Structure 1
Amino acid sequence: MYAAYAAILISVYHRSNYLERSISNEGDYERHAFMERLTLMDNEDCYNQLRMGNDAFARLINILRGTGRLRNNAHSNVEEQVAKFLHIVGHNLKNRTMKFYFKRSSETISRHFHQVLRAIISLDDDCIGAIDGSHFRVKVSNDVVQRYQGRKYYPTQNVLATCSFDLKFTYVLPGWEGSASDSRILDNALVRDFDKLIVPQGNYW
């Protein structure tokens, strides 16, 4: 919890310093206002736009900036570069759409996209697979059906699973009701006494 808050504060500090130096015209104001809405909005809205929550976005920024994979430049900071990338891959957006939102040229958007892509790929050395929650339809008694009915119109279990790059399941945690969020299930998987999810030191999914 405290680490997440610290990551957000550090990200806001970098962004504030950058804003003081870089805002010079109307396009800059519109772009930075848009970035503020993206990164300072409530967690659900941030997830809907960037496909990750505020704390995850701040941590990703700190990893990419802290390891020197991405840097602020004279015209854009790391937050903006990563937000453009996440917007494109999360919503399958075209450059012409991104030009409207970020007030940047197609060349700049393309360059930033590939810079962030290379930075993300470079993290792959420590990545050991994929992790996600999947919903499976179930039949439950009427007295608990609401707990199992989340985003679907029918009751489900939200099953957390990890998979290696050779397509083998390495961890499966069934049983959670469909209304439970992926983050809640992951938090439980990391601390449970039985069938705990073990993350090797220095690795991630």
Structure 2
Amino acid sequence: MYAAYAAILVLVYHRSNYLERSISNEGDYEQHALMEKLTLMDNEDCYNQLRMGKDAFARLVNILWGTGRLRNSAHSNVEEQVAKFLHIIGHNLRNRTMKFYFKHSSETVSRHFHQVLRAIISLDDVFLKQFDGLKCPQEIKDNTKFWPYFKDCIGAIDGSHFRVKVSNDVVQRYRGRKYYPTQNILTTCSFDLKFTYVLPGWEGSASDSRIPDNALTRNFDKLIVPQGDYW
């Protein structure tokens, strides 16, 4: 009797493991097929799905992987993690939708999203280079309409509102001119349309003058304006 009972347990254990492995293998196959479809499609389709072209996507993956900011996991490589992240923010998708397409649990999708988000945020010092004022922007110097009248102008500065979700106890602070809560974000860019500074986080109700004042006097992540130059 004990031998029969043990045999049944072994059979159940074997079938359970086989079923789990089959499901896992099937999920891995579908993930691989989906990633092949995403990376092998033409540039326009890639842009429509990931909101960036194939070359830009490949460079972003190489930067995040090559600098050690993201690593492959047992069932998800860096390429797939970044694709999930871009798909979510590009189309405002929910975890349950990504769970269905990428065959991962909601917890895994959420974890990968936040890993990629933190990795991209850590690139701010790499891509957001503030102007040092050592030379006049070429876009000004080569244009007779602007030179020499704007030789000390180093770029453009502006703010914009982005819709956000916040807890009910602070929602009124984030509701300004819009009927929904927003973040008031200050940005600067150079004349070649590259962002050089971003200050997020201010409530939508904050005045436009208060935000640049804070940007210029912060103890960290301060907006730098070289002596004699202006935005």
Taking structure 1 as the reference length, the TM-score comes to 0.53
Q: 1:64–1:70: 8 Å Cα contact kept in structure 2?
A: yes
User: Partner of 2:196: helix, strand, or coil?
Assistant: strand
Alignment of 1:169-180 (within 5 A): none
Distance 1:6 1:43 in 2: 57
Contact residue 22 and residue 75 of structure 1 kept, 8 A:
no
Shift of 1:163: 2.3
Q: Which residue of 1 aligns with 2:89?
A: 89
Retained in 1: the 8 A contact 2:164–2:182?
yes
Shift of 1:27: 1.0
Residues 1:145 and 2:176 aligned together? no
Give me the whole-angstrom Cα distance separating, in 2, the residues matched to 1:2 and 1:201.
Answer: 88
CA RMSD of aligned residues (A): 19.2
Q: Deviations over 1:46-80 (max 9, x none)?
A: 00000001100000000000100001121110000
Q: 1:96-144 CA distances to partner (integer Å, 9 max, x unpaired)? A: 1001110000000000000000000000119999999999999999999
CA distance in 2, matches of 1:73, 1:32: 14
* Greater mean deviation of Cα atoms: 124-133 or 20-29: 124-133
Inter-CA distance 193–85: structure 2 relative to 1 (3 Å threshold):
closer
Q: Which moved more, 1:134-143 or 1:123-132?
A: 134-143
Pick closer, same or farther for the CA change 1:95–1:163 going to 2, 3 Å. same
Deviates further, 189-198 or 71-80: 189-198
Counterpart Cα distance in 2 of 1:192 and 1:157: 18
Question: Unaligned regions of 5+ residues in structure 1, if any?
Answer: none
TM-score (norm 2): 0.47
Q: Are residues 90 and 68 of structure 1, via their aligned partners in 2, closer, same or farther at CA, if it must alter by over 3 Å?
A: same
What CA deviation, in whole Å up to 9, does each residue of 1:78-102 have, x standing for no partner? 0000000000000000001001110
Q: Partners in 2 of 1:55 and 1:37 — Cα distance?
A: 15
Give the CA deviation at 1:25. Answer: 1.0
Task: Mark the CA change 1:130 to 1:23 in structure 2 (over 3 Å): closer, same or farther.
Answer: farther
Q: 1:67 to 1:165 in 2, by over 3 A?
A: farther
Query: SS where residue 174 of structure 1 aligns?
Result: strand
> Equivalent of 1:190, from 179, 198, 216?
216
Counterpart in 1 of 2:75?
A: 75
Q: Could you tell me whether the CA contact under 8 Å between 1:137 and 1:155 is conserved in 2?
A: yes
Mark the CA change 1:28 to 1:66 in structure 2 (over 3 Å): closer, same or farther: same
The count of aligned residue pairs is 205
Matches within 5 A, 1:19-34: 25-34=25-34
Structure-2 change in CA distance of 1:80 and 1:159 (3 Å): closer
2:185 to 159, 168, 183: 159
Structure 2 CA distance for aligned equivalents of residues 54 and 14 of structure 1: 43
The Cα of 1:193 is off from its aligned counterpart by 39
- Residues 202 and 162 of structure 1: is their aligned pair in 2 closer, same or farther, counting only changes over 3 Å? same
